[in-house]
Chain A
Amino acid sequence: MLLAEGLRHAFGRVVALDEVSFRLVPGQTLAIFGPNGAGKTTLLKVLAGLIRPQGGWAAVDGGARAIGWIDHQSHLYGHLTVRENLLFWATLYGVAAVERGPRADALLGRLGLSERAGQPVWSLSRGLVQRAAIARALVHDPAVLLLDEPFTGLDLAAAAELRALLAELRGGGRVLVLATHNVDEGVELATHVAFQRRGRFVELAPRGARAAGEIAQAYRRAMTDG
Chain B
Amino acid sequence: MAELLLAAWVVARKDLVLEFRTRTAVLSAAVFTALVLTVFNFGRDPTAVPALLLAPSILWVTFTFAGMLGLNRAFQLELENAALEGLLVSPLSRVSLYWGKLLANLVFVAVVEAVGLPLFVLFFDVPLGRVLLPLIGVIALATVGFVTVGTLFSAMVARTRFAELMLPVLLLPFLIPPLVFAVLATARLLAARPLSESVAYLKLLAAYDIVFLVVATLLFRYTVDE
Residues of A within 8 A of B (CB): 45, 48-52, 63-65, 67, 69, 71, 73-80, 84, 88-89, 91-94, 120-121, 136
When the two chains form their complex, are residues B10 and A63 in contact, meaning their CB atoms are under 8 A apart? Answer: no
Taken together as a complex, chains A and B put the C-alpha atoms of A77 and B87 apart, in Å, by 12
Count, chain B residues at interface, CB 8 A? 22
B225 to chain A, nearest CB (A): 7
Q: Is B92 an interface residue (CB 8 A)?
A: yes
Residues of B within 8 A of A64 (CB): 89-91
* Given A78-B80, A92-B7, A69-B89 contact (CB < 8 Å): yes
Q: Is B86 an interface residue (CB 8 A)?
A: yes
Taken together as a complex, chains A and B put the C-alpha atoms of A74 and B90 apart, in Å, by 14
When the two chains form their complex, are residues B7 and A75 in contact, meaning their CB atoms are under 8 A apart? Answer: no
When the two chains form their complex, are residues A51 and B226 in contact, meaning their CB atoms are under 8 A apart? Answer: yes
Q: Is B44 an interface residue (CB 8 A)?
A: no
- In terms of DSSP, what is the predominant structure of the interface of chain B? helix
The 6 A-B pairs at the shortest CB distance, nearest first, are namely A75-B86, A73-B82, A64-B91, A79-B21, A74-B81, A48-B89
When the two chains form their complex, are residues B83 and A77 in contact, meaning their CB atoms are under 8 A apart? Answer: yes
A53 to chain B, nearest CB (A): 11
Interface code B73-86, partner A: CB below 8 Å = 1, 0 otherwise?
00001001111011
The 8 Å CB contact of A67, one of B14, B18, B81, B89, is B89
21 A–B contacts, CB within 8 A, in A order: A45-B226, A50-B226, A51-B226, A64-B89, A64-B90, A64-B91, A65-B91, A69-B86, A75-B83, A75-B86, A77-B77, A77-B80, A78-B81, A79-B18, A84-B17, A89-B86, A91-B10, A92-B7, A92-B87, A120-B21, A121-B81
Residues of B within 8 A of A (CB): 7, 10, 14, 17-18, 21-22, 77, 80-83, 85-92, 225-226
Taken together as a complex, chains A and B put the C-alpha atoms of A92 and B94 apart, in Å, by 12
When the two chains form their complex, are residues A75 and B81 in contact, meaning their CB atoms are under 8 A apart? Answer: yes
Taken together as a complex, chains A and B put the C-alpha atoms of A45 and B86 apart, in Å, by 11
How many inter-chain residue pairs (CB < 8 Å) link A and B? Answer: 66
B9 to chain A, nearest CB (A): 10
The 8 Å CB contact of B10, one of A50, A77, A88, is A88
Residues of B within 8 A of A84 (CB): 17
The 8 Å CB contact of B18, one of A73, A77, A91, is A77
Residues of A within 8 A of B89 (CB): 48-50, 64, 67, 69
B158 to chain A, nearest CB (A): 15
When the two chains form their complex, are residues B91 and A80 in contact, meaning their CB atoms are under 8 A apart? Answer: no
B22 to chain A, nearest CB (A): 6
Residues of B within 8 A of A93 (CB): 90-91
A73 to chain B, nearest CB (A): 4
Residues of A within 8 A of B18 (CB): 77, 79-80
A33 to chain B, nearest CB (A): 23
Residues of B within 8 A of A79 (CB): 18, 21-22
Residues of B within 8 A of A75 (CB): 81-83, 85-86
Interface centre among B7, B80, B82, B90 (most CB of A within 10 A): B90
* Given A69-B86, A79-B21, A80-B18, A92-B91 contact (CB < 8 Å): yes
